[in-house]
Amino acid sequence: MTRIIRFFLVMTLLCTHAYATDTLRFIGDVNINTGTVFQGTEIGGLSGITYDRAQNKLLAISDDKSWVNETRFYEFDIKLTAKSFAVTPSKVVKLKQADGTFYKKNEADFEGISLYGKDILISSEGSIRRSPPTSSELYLFGRDGSFKQVVPVPEKFLIPKTGKMDSAGARDNKGFEALSTTLDGKTTFMAAEDALIQDGEISSISNASTTRIVIYKDLKPVSEVAYTLEKIEALKSINVGPSDNGVVDIAAIDDKNFYIMERSWIARINKNIIRIFKCSINDKTTDVSKIDSLKSAPFTPVEKVLVLEMDDFIDLMNPKVLDNIEGISFGPILPNGNRTLIVVSDNNFNSDQRTLFLAVEILNK
C-alpha cells in the first residue's frame, strides 16, 4: 500500500463525513505474532473483546472453530495510562457444550463476547453452508467456560423453518458478529454483520445496506433497531474487485448510545478500512422488530456520526499498517476521568497477519 493510495482513501472518507464532537486520541498498540502459543493454545482469531472492570482483565473470544485448538476465550492483564499500553495473556478458558464436552471441529463460530453479571455472553455466526446448517445463536457461559443456556434469538435471524435458506435469515458469514452489554450491565446489543436476506442486498459500491441490532433486557429480546452501513468506497483509479463492509462490533454506553465499528476489506489493494461511529437511539428511531422485511418498509435508523477513520493512526503504529480489526470494547478509565476504547484484530491464524491491540482515549469536547 503506497502512501498516495492511503491518502486518497482517507481524503475520500473525510470529504463525505464530518467528525463528531468525540475525539479519539491514540495511546499505544501491542502486537502478538501469529504462532504465539499460550497454555498449549495458539493465540489468534480474536474477534470480540470485553473489559472486566472488577478484575482489570480484557477478555477476547477466538473464532477458531476448533481447527487449531478447542473453542476458547482468553483473559489478558492490561496496563493502560495516558502514555502507555500493555496487554499480557494470563488465562485461556475452553468452552464446553451442554453435555460437558468440547465443541467438535466446525461446530461453532464464536464472534462476539460480553460480560453478563458474573457470566459471559457469546454470539455465534453459525453456518448455513455446513451440514447440517446452523443459525446464528447467542449463548450464556460461566466464566469457567461451562455451558449455561441458549439465549432466545428473534426468528427473522434464523434459518427459515421451510428449509429455504436463501429466502430469509442471516447470510453465511454475515451473522451475529457484534455484541456488547452497557456499562451498567442492564442492556445488551447484538448485531448481524450485514443485511438479512429478507431485508435487501449487502453493502457494495452502489448500496448502503441496512442491518438490524437486537436489544436485550434480562436475556430477552425487547426491540430491534435498523443500522445503515456505509457504501464500499469507489476509487476512480482502482478497480476495487471483491470487497465487503460490515458491522464487526459494538461498545455500548447505555440503552440509547453506543459506538459501532465498521470494517471494509478491499481485496485488490489488500486494504482494511476501519471506521468507528457514535450512534444514538432517539424518539424518531423505529423499532423494527415487527417489520418482517426492510426492503420497502418505511423506518428511521439509528443516528450515526463518524468519530474515527483509523487510517489517521497508521503513522503512530508499529508496524505502520492496519490489520483485520474486528473487536471493540471500553477499557479502563484514565486518572483524568476519561474513558478509553480498545480494539483488537483477528489474524485469521495467517502468518502474514498479526494480532493487534490498540488503545485510544475518548476526549469529549
**For the chain, how many helices (H) and strands (E)?**
1, 22
Q: What is the pLDDT of residue 6?
A: 44
**Burial readout 166-175 (b: 16 or more C-beta within 10 A, e: otherwise):** eebbbbebbb
Query: How many of the other CB atoms lie within 10 Å of CB of 298?
Result: 7
Mean pLDDT of the chain, nearest integer? 91
Which residues lie below 8 Å from residue 101, measured CB to CB, with a gap of 6+? none
Burial class of residue 250 in the structure, from the number of CB atoms within 10 Å of its CB (0-12 exposed, 13-18 middle, 19+ buried): buried
pLDDT at 17 over 70: no
CATH classification of the domain holding 143: 2.115.10
Domain enclosing residue 38, as ranges: 3-364
Question: What's the number of domains the chain is made of?
Answer: 1
Residue 344 pLDDT more than 90?
yes
What is the pLDDT, as a whole number, of residue 242?
67
Among 44-53, 194-203, 213-222, 267-276, the range scoring the smallest mean pLDDT is 267-276
DSSP 3-state of 269? helix
pLDDT of 143 higher than 50: yes
Of all residues in the chain, the percent with pLDDT exceeding 70 is 91
- Say how far apart CA 340 and CA 227 lie, in whole Å: 24
What integer pLDDT is reported at residue 246 of this predicted model?
Answer: 95
**Over pLDDT 90: what percentage of the chain?**
80
pLDDT over 60 (residue 150): yes
248 falls in which pLDDT band (50, 70, 90)?
Answer: very high
Q: Is residue 1's pLDDT more than 80?
A: no
Write the pLDDT tens digit of every residue in 65-116: 999 999 999 999 999 999 999 999 999 999 999 999 999 998 899 999 999 9
Least confident of 177-181, 231-235, 251-255, 327-331: 231-235
What average pLDDT does range 121-139 have in this prediction? Answer: 90
What is residue 348's predicted lDDT score, i.e. its pLDDT?
96
| Whether pLDDT at 18 is above 70 | no
The C-alpha cell that represents 198 in the structure block:
429478507
**pLDDT tens for each residue of 204-239:** 888 899 999 999 999 999 999 999 999 987 655 566
